[in-house]
Structure formats: C-alpha cells, structure tokens
Amino acid sequence: MPIQQHYLTDALQRPSPNYDDRPDPDDISLVVIHCISLPPGQFDNAYIDQLFNNQLDPNAHPYFQDIHTLRVSAHVLIKRDGTLVQYVPFHKRAWHAGKSNYKGRERCNDFAIGIELEGTEHTPYTDAQYQQLQSVLESLLSTYPQLSWQRITRHSDIAPGRKTDPGESFDWQRLLSKHLEQDG
C-alpha cells in the first residue's frame, strides 16, 4: 500500500488537531502498537474519531466523563473490519504514547508511529486487522529507513505498569511469523 507525502493512500483521512512537530522529522524509528475501544469493549461506532478530534460528548456514555478532555491521537487506526483511518501524517508527532521509554530513550512520541487496533486487551483481534497491520507495517518499513521489524513494540512495553495494551489477546507471533520465516 503506497505512502505519499506521509499519508497511506488507502486510508480514510480524519485529520486530528492533536499533533505537533517532531523534534527531528527524519527520526521515525519505532512503531508502537496500541488498542482502543470506546466505550470499552464496544466497537464500530464514531467515538474513537470523536476522541481523536476533541469532539467526544461527555454525556454520550458515563465512561466519557473522565476522558472527553483528553488530547490524544494516533497516526493510524485499524478497525475490526480492516478499515484504515489515518489521523496524523507520519512525519508529525501524534500524541499516543504518553510517558514512555524505549531502550533508555524517553518520549517515544518524538520518534514513534502509533498504530491503534480497535479492540481490547482480552478480545481476539480479527483476521482483517492482522492482514491490514501486516500491510501497513510493510509499507512503513519500506518508506522510513530507520524502522525495522526489531523496532516494533507494544504500548505495554514502553509504559510498563501504566499501560497494558494491546494485551494478551494480541498474537505477537502471528504478526512476526512472516518476517521470522523470511529471516529463518
């Protein structure tokens, strides 16, 4: 899938205001995999778009009372049916990782691309999501030379004790199996 001017050409574009400039726009050297569902455990609605665009109605669900003022985003969301939504161009800093550390380097948002999977830590992800994630990762790795299969991580790995996503339901081996076979 082509990337042109830091956008996936096959993704729906829903520009988020929740981004800024990276300290070094050429330092794109990590991919962080997350999961999200709003309200928790509910899928296929407009609430993620609303959260990432500062439009979440606090009265639409009790859970939203505590999160509607958050200013967060990701570069890409992969919905349950495999639909891709892009919120932030890859050369900009999306606000997805929060307080984080990757191999001694803090502030992962500065150098990472954030990919959200619509799901929960305990609900299996869909075949369509794994296929789309594989395709997105291959495109990112062929576009941004500092990325590699070894520089793909989970949110829980860069924010241990604070975050648990994408959780036990994420099949890391399945994601990496194609790559491991090629290197094996």
Which sequence spans correspond to the domains of the chain? 3-183
Q: What is the mean pLDDT of residues 125-145?
A: 97
- pTM for the model stands at 0.96
The C-alpha atoms of residue 16 and residue 36 are separated, in whole angstroms, by 16
Q: Which CATH number fits domain 3-183: 3.40.50.720, 2.40.10.120, 3.40.80.10, 3.40.50.12280?
A: 3.40.80.10
Query: According to the model, what pLDDT value does residue 176 have?
Result: 85
pLDDT tens for 6-47 read: 999 999 999 999 999 999 999 999 999 999 999 999 999 999
Query: According to the model, what pLDDT value does residue 184 have?
Result: 45
Q: What is the mean pLDDT of residues 132-143?
A: 97
Three-state DSSP state, 149: helix
The C-alpha atoms of residue 109 and residue 86 are separated, in whole angstroms, by 16
The C-alpha atoms of residue 98 and residue 77 are separated, in whole angstroms, by 17
Q: What is the mean pLDDT of residues 141-168?
A: 96
Following CA atoms 139, 147, 127, 161 in sequence, which dihedral angle do they give, to the nearest 10 degrees?
Answer: -150
Hey, which residues are catalytic here?
A: 116
Strands 76-78 and 112-118: parallel
pLDDT tens for 54-83 read: 999 999 999 999 999 999 999 999 999 999
Residue 77 pairs in a beta bridge with: 85, 116
Q: What is the mean pLDDT of residues 111-129?
A: 98
Indicate whether 158 pLDDT > 90.
Answer: yes
Banded pLDDT at 153 (limits 50, 70, 90): very high
Query: Where do the DSSP E strands lie in 37-111?
Result: 76-78, 84-86, 92-94, 101-102, 105-106
